[in-house]
Amino acid sequence: MERTSTRGRRTSAPGADRAREQPHDGPPARPAAARAGGAAGETAPRAPPLLELDGITKRYGPETVLDGIDLDVREGEILTLLGPSGCGKTTTLRLIAGLDRPDAGRVILDGEEVAGDGNFLAPEERDVGLVFQEFALFPHRTAAENVAFGLDDWEREAREARVDELLDLVGLDAQRDSPPDELSGGQRQRVALARSLAPQPELLLLDEPFSNLDVDLRVAMREEVREIIRKAGVTAVSVTHDQEEAFSISDRVAVMSTGRIEQVGPPERVFQRPESRFVAGFLGHASFLPGRVAGEKVTTPLGTLPREQLHGLSREYDGSDIDVLVRPDDVSLTRVPPAEADGRVAYRRYLGPTVLYRVALDEPGGADRAGDPNRSEGSARADDPDHRGDPSRSDLPGDAAGDPPAGGESARFSGERGGAAGRSPAADARTVECMHNHAARVDLDDPVAVELIAGHDLAWFPRADAMDRSD
């Protein structure tokens, strides 16, 4: 059946050629083409935007929940709004759906202004489907009847054919006569998704769609839902605070903080080339290693890096202090005699396949080896075979070790990364985090050598940016 919209279609929306992917902060004076997630950095042809948010502001009393949001969603893509609780992502979804009105700015859907400048189109007139966090299925209706809800104005034959098509798409044809209480959590979610797709909406909105599922089912459903959306050929906007979920289902992610969009781009680019310290910390464990730019080298407490390995490091930063972003898998740790150590293990967490270590680096002038000329760029040390041991021994902690982490870090290390400031403890001291398998035995307070082993470009931030944030 051909899809018909209640609104007139246009091939492009006003302002479709404007770049909307600029962050509000981040390393200054870097070329636009080098900034991750920005339109200038993308070489693939851009599909026309189906949805535009133009300067959207929303206030509840004296509190500004959204502060001038600009965002394009391209036709056929899956974009996820990602951020911590309270950042404004669900409010953004409600404004797109028409469940709330913006205080300023415009919502443009398929070329038509549906909110702003005195205009407001009701939710039922926007041709938008919504998958609720709680699924919101009718308990007294079968799976087929739930999918058919909202198709009352369709001819009976067309309605039944559409329900059959969607039940087949989501793999629930055998459960068509089952009520929700006879379905598993994953099956109920697929019914909710099929019901939202039934009227053939132009845009599908998903509000924390996996939060009510257990961990194993959540992972499996991400792949299923992405495939269903792809086969349905619908544009989708999802909302989540889970980084892994956003990365696994999205073509692009928009990272939000305190009512603003920090960065938009493909998951890989946003993770590897964050444009702000918040993005760097929120998307994963982040250590900020102090460095100084000197000609073609960048010196750090862990040795030197070639200048070319620092993404977009322009000549204007010659002789300046910067912070180099390193992730746990960019760093190798080896237990060594104290005289050869860079620092000591201050924290350790057992994660099953791996162990996360936090190393407190020695202060300059102490026992560290930052100036050791024998340390070559990118060299790695083999694990000391004398320290291999049983990873299941009882002294290996599961959640914390030594002094308890400050700032509620037990939550961060269970998946809520970054906190309000979007920074890990490694961002606030001379510490660095690294992740290893169980090949080597390293205990708390052991002296260790730490080696940079990253084989890819590294992101960096001006030191002045960190100082400004601490004032």
Are the C-beta atoms of 281 and 425 separated by less than 8 Å? no
Q: Same structural domain for residues 254 and 300?
A: no
Q: Which residue has the higher pLDDT, 103 or 369?
A: 103
Q: Same structural domain for residues 336 and 251?
A: no
Q: Which residue has the higher pLDDT, 431 or 372?
A: 431
pLDDT digits (tens, 9 = 90+) for 434-463: 988 766 678 999 999 999 999 999 999 998
Q: Which residue has the higher pLDDT, 196 or 13?
A: 196
pLDDT digits (tens, 9 = 90+) for 70-94: 999 999 999 999 999 999 999 999 9
Q: Same structural domain for residues 271 and 283?
A: no
Is 93 within a domain? yes
Task: State the pairing for strand pair 303-306/297-300.
Answer: antiparallel
Is 339 within a domain? yes
Residue 165 predicted with pLDDT over 70: yes
Pairwise CA distance, residues 278 & 284, whole Å: 10
Residue 13 predicted with pLDDT over 80: no
Categorize the per-residue pLDDT at 216 as very low, low, confident or very high, splitting at 50, 70 and 90: confident
Q: Same structural domain for residues 386 and 268?
A: no
Domains: count for the chain: 2
Q: Same structural domain for residues 345 and 446?
A: yes
Categorize the per-residue pLDDT at 144 as very low, low, confident or very high, splitting at 50, 70 and 90: very high
Rounded to two decimals, what is the model's pTM?
0.76
Is 46 within a domain? yes
Is 186 within a domain? no
Q: Same structural domain for residues 410 and 453?
A: yes
Residue 6 predicted with pLDDT over 60: no
Q: Same structural domain for residues 254 and 286?
A: no
Q: Same structural domain for residues 68 and 208?
A: yes
Q: Same structural domain for residues 43 and 57?
A: yes
Are the C-beta atoms of 447 and 338 separated by less than 8 Å? yes
Residue 31 predicted with pLDDT over 60: no
Is 21 within a domain? no
Residue 441's pLDDT is: 78
With a CB cutoff of 8 Å and minimum separation 6, the contacts of 256 are 81, 82, 83, 87, 88, 89, 92, 262
Is 300 within a domain? yes
Q: Which structural domain, as residue segments, surrounds residue 408?
A: 279-470
Q: Point out the domain boundary residue: 233, 260, 275.
A: 275
